[in-house]
Amino acid sequence: MTFLYKANATRGMEWARFFAARAPDLPFRLWPDIGDPAQVRYLAVWTPPENIAVTFRNLELVFSVGAGVDQFDFSQLPPHVPLIRMLEPGIAESMVEYVTMAVLALHRDLLHFIAQQREQTWREIRITQAAKRRVGVMGLGLLGQAVLERLKAFGFPLAGWNRSPRTIQDVSCYGGRQALPEFLAQTDILVCLLPLTDETRGILNTSLFEVLPRGAQLVNVGRGGHLVEADLIEALERGLLSAAVLDVAEQEPLPAGHPFWSHPRILLTPHIASMTTPETAVEFVLDTIGRHRRGETLPGRVDRERGY
């Protein structure tokens, strides 16, 4: 019986160390050293291997090493094998830091000041009070809620939009598609923390940007597929949006020559908003394996119908 890991190799070595310490009886293998595939009961992956069901015929659990699962083709996974997304605290902590950084950078016009510094221009821009900058988060799951909780400290008026209704103290919550325009119309900085599904693909597009207050700003930390990239460029040109912070792109790494590389109103990072922490990830994975063996419910189990 083995545990197979297929993701970032350097972090995989750390997983191996924590496995050896915490679960010495469960052999841990790093891709591509898969050993006997019939022995693989547990698989943790970022990009899934091909023919999972045929190659690993005795699989019991598949883990995503990230919080998102859109990289999986669910039809390739045996229906009886639970797919578990990563629920370890390191992901939320680093996401909270990143979104706080992005919202504050946009709120305090950082992109303007970077450009001014390059031009050796010393010019002030009036400060907008946090109380007058409305921040709205799309997706009130684990990460969206954690982000909103931290943003409360700055005094921004906060709102959130979600598929099903939510109640969060000091946050105006909007539920369902019909409530989206009302949510957008009062959002100056829009943060996307949705999962990528058939319903959310391309949601950040021209018609959405047109409902935001003119000159609104965008933070996309969900997935590149949420954003229609050409629509963002056009929205920046038309002044519908004034700036964007993007951590994700439709194609990663971003191809050479892509307009995002050099756009003065876009701050781009290479999908680093948050990262799974090996130590706590191993804790989570081992806890889940224990629960599975005892026939208990599995936190993080993906609902394949919903797509997340």
Closest residue by beta carbon to ligand OXD: 66
Q: Which residues touch 158 (CB under 8 Å, ≥6 apart)?
A: 134, 135, 136, 137, 148, 151, 152, 170, 171, 172
Binding site partner of 222, from ligand NDP, ligand OXD, none, Cβ cut-off 5-8 A by kind? ligand NDP
User: Which position among 109, 188, 231, 247 is part of the footprint of ligand NDP (CB under 6 A)?
Assistant: 247
Between 199 and 296, name the residue whose CB sits nearer to ligand NDP: 199
Which residues within the stretch 107-146 sit at the binding site for ligand NDP (CB under 6 A)? 139-144
Q: What is the DSSP string of 109-165?
A: THHHHHHHHHTT-----PPPPGGG--EEEE--SHHHHHHHHHHGGGT--EEEEESS-
User: Which position among 91, 184, 240, 281 is part of the footprint of ligand OXD (CB under 6 A)?
Assistant: 91
User: Which position among 222, 243, 246, 282 is part of the footprint of ligand NDP (CB under 6 A)?
Assistant: 222
DSSP 75: G
Compute CA 117 distance to the chain's CA centroid, rounded to the nearest angstrom.
31
Binding site partner of 27, from ligand NDP, ligand OXD, none, Cβ cut-off 5-8 A by kind? none
Q: Report the nearest approach of ligand NDP to the CB of residue 118 (Å).
A: 27
Answer yes or no: 304 catalytic: no
Answer yes or no: 223 catalytic: yes
- Of 271, 291, 301, 304, catalytic: 271
Binding site partner of 139, from ligand OXD, ligand NDP, none, Cβ cut-off 5-8 A by kind? ligand NDP
Per DSSP, helices labelled H in the chain are: 9-22, 52-55, 89-107, 110-118, 142-151, 180-185, 206-211, 229-238, 278-293
Residue 223 within binding range of ligand NDP, rule CB under 6 A? yes
Residue 89 within binding range of ligand NDP, rule CB under 6 A? no
Calpha distance 152→158 (Å, rounded) = 7
Cβ distance 146 to 158 under 8 Å? no
Residue 68 within binding range of ligand OXD, rule CB under 6 A? yes
Phi, psi of 241 (to 5 degrees): -115, 155
Q: What string marks each residue from 181 to 210 as x (binds ligand OXD by CB under 6 A) or -?
A: ------------------------------
Nearest to 3 by CA among 162, 219, 144, 15: 15
- C-alpha distances (whole Å) from 284 to each of 61, 70, 278 are 13, 20, 10
Calpha distance 85→195 (Å, rounded) = 11
Q: No. of H helices and E strands in the chain? A: 9, 12
Q: Report the nearest approach of ligand NDP to the CB of residue 196 (Å).
A: 6
Q: Report the nearest approach of ligand OXD to the CB of residue 142 (Å).
A: 11
Between 130 and 212, name the residue whose CB sits nearer to ligand NDP: 212
Indicate the residue type of 24: P
Which residues within the stretch 11-70 sit at the binding site for ligand NDP (CB under 6 A)? 66-68
Residue 208 within binding range of ligand NDP, rule CB under 6 A? no
Q: Report the nearest approach of ligand OXD to the CB of residue 53 (Å).
A: 23
The DSSP H or E segment spanning 64 is strand 61-64
- Give me the active site residues, please: 223, 271
User: What residue ranges bind ligand OXD (CB under 6 A)?
Assistant: 66-68, 91, 274
User: What residue ranges bind ligand NDP (CB under 6 A)?
Assistant: 66-68, 91, 95, 139-144, 162-164, 193-197, 199-200, 221-223, 247-248, 271, 273-274, 308
